Amino acid sequence: MLRRGVIGIVLAFASATARADDPPGTGAPVTDAPAPAPAAPVSAPAPAPARPHHRRFELGFVPFIGGNSDVGLGVGQLSSLTRVGDAPGPNSYRWRLDTGTSIAFKHRASGLVVPIQDYYLKLTIPRLRAYPRLRLEFRVAYTDESAVHFRGFGNASPEPDHSRPREDYEFRRQHPNAIAEARYRVRGPWYLALGDVLALNRLDVRPTTVLSDRRTNGSPIERALLAEGFGTHLVELVDLSAQYDTRDREISTRTGQWHSAKVRLSPHLGRALPYGYGRLTLIARGYLNPTPRLSLSARLVGDALFGSPPFYELARVEEYAAIGGGNAIRGVPAQHFYGKAKLFGNVEARTEVLRFCIHGKPMALAVALFVDAGRTWTELTTAHPELDGTGLGLHYGLGGGLRWRQGSSFVVRADVAWSPDAHPIGAYFTAGEIF
């Protein structure tokens, strides 16, 4: 999905509930079953007829086209295939396969460029039959960002000098990656999770860019953050997290809490894995459902890096942009603020305005209002007012959007946000709620 976000104009959609094998039912066995034999004086009763076997799937699919002044014209698709469980309920699915593809085009003086292309495939198995307390998730992705922004480190990084070429504030990063995570329910709502992330990063930084200049002529802290250079490299991250989860459902959560404390460690193994660093991420989430159609949700995220991380991680938290972008502070441009510590929060209200069915599958259309805010610091232990500024220094976004829920397992989100940092607004179109 587009990191800077695009608002999608839905061209067409297909939403279906597919069934395979025998049709579901609760009555008599299948019609081609043999008739029972006449009663006979036997000591054991005749075996009961087998229950009919059936499977049920939910398919969600949305193609889109859209864009904004940052990423240009974007096209792509978001889809989900879910094997629904036999028991009713929002979390009863057996597995879910999500896919997303997107590519953006932009015309510049040098010609047509492709600022970003992104492809991913994710498999979620909420409960293994043999180990019902165990949840598994696997994700493979390839992202090519040819115009990642960098205008400096810190919460008060300066606005670009418009007399310089735009390309001087950009670099390219290609990064195929694979993620695996296992979550185990210890007791009640308490969980432990173990994961692994392996990413191959290829950076292309031209010598005339601000990034190259900061590596050579920057302040001591800037030169230290860029000491490892810009070569191709592997990064492996081992995750360990503790979670408290009382959500009523994973998709379009209405009530409950979901809190997590995650530690990520990257080993330093010579040239093969050149970056040795760690990350601590604390996230608190709460959900309320005061009326049947109104949902309130809030999130607070704190993130700190220690050691020697690659510089591009200073603009991110987990797998998305931190201070800005469609998954953190909407309206603020993504990857414009780099720092080892971040703090941001979101408050959102959603209300369903329309409920309907297509081919027997329940649908819902909702509207949302939200406020997002946060800031970053170059380092957590040392003040750098020349980079971070003084005072509160909050970056924030205000906005609203639409939510289209298909069945029990697929949600499409379209948001528009205003911020003092926006040029002129931020717009986002993606699958899933922001949290």
Domain ranges of the chain: 8-23+54-431
**181 in Cβ contact with 136 (< 8 Å):** yes
Q: Give me the amino acid identity at 390.
A: T
User: In which residue are the tokens 């604390």 written?
Assistant: 282
Q: Give me the amino acid identity at 235.
A: V
Structure tokens, 410:
């697929």
Question: Closest Cα to residue 376, out of 361, 390, 394?
Answer: 394
**68 in Cβ contact with 426 (< 8 Å):** yes
> What are the two backbone dihedrals, phi and then psi, of residue 146, each rounded to the nearest 5 degrees?
-90, -5
Residue 67 is predicted with a pLDDT of 56
**115 in Cβ contact with 123 (< 8 Å):** no
**329 in Cβ contact with 317 (< 8 Å):** no
Q: Give every CB contact of residue 181 below 8 A, 6+ residues apart in sequence.
A: 136, 137, 193, 194, 195, 196, 239
Q: What is the number of other CB atoms lying within 10 angstroms of the CB of residue 45?
A: 6
pLDDT in tens, the chain (435 residues): 444 343 343 433 333 333 333 333 333 333 334 444 444 444 444 554 544 445 588 888 888 776 555 576 788 998 999 988 766 555 678 899 999 999 988 877 777 889 989 999 999 999 998 899 999 999 999 999 999 999 999 999 988 888 899 889 999 999 999 999 999 999 999 999 999 999 999 999 999 999 999 999 999 999 999 988 888 999 999 999 999 999 998 888 999 999 999 999 999 998 889 999 999 999 999 999 999 889 999 999 999 999 999 999 999 998 888 999 889 999 999 889 999 999 999 999 999 999 999 888 889 999 999 999 999 999 998 999 999 999 899 999 999 999 998 877 688 899 999 999 987 888 888 878 999
Question: Closest Cα to residue 207, out of 237, 239, 171?
Answer: 171
Task: From residue 423, give the alpha-carbon distance in Å to each of 51, 117, 130, 427.
Answer: 60, 22, 52, 11
Question: Closest Cα to residue 288, out of 280, 297, 279, 276?
Answer: 297
d(CA 198, CA 175): 10
Residue 64 is predicted with a pLDDT of 78
Q: Give every CB contact of residue 188 below 8 A, 6+ residues apart in sequence.
A: none
Reply yes or no: is the peptide bond before residue 424 cis, omega within 30 of 0: yes
| Per CATH, domain 8-23+54-431 is 3.90.1300.10 | no
Residue 185 is predicted with a pLDDT of 96
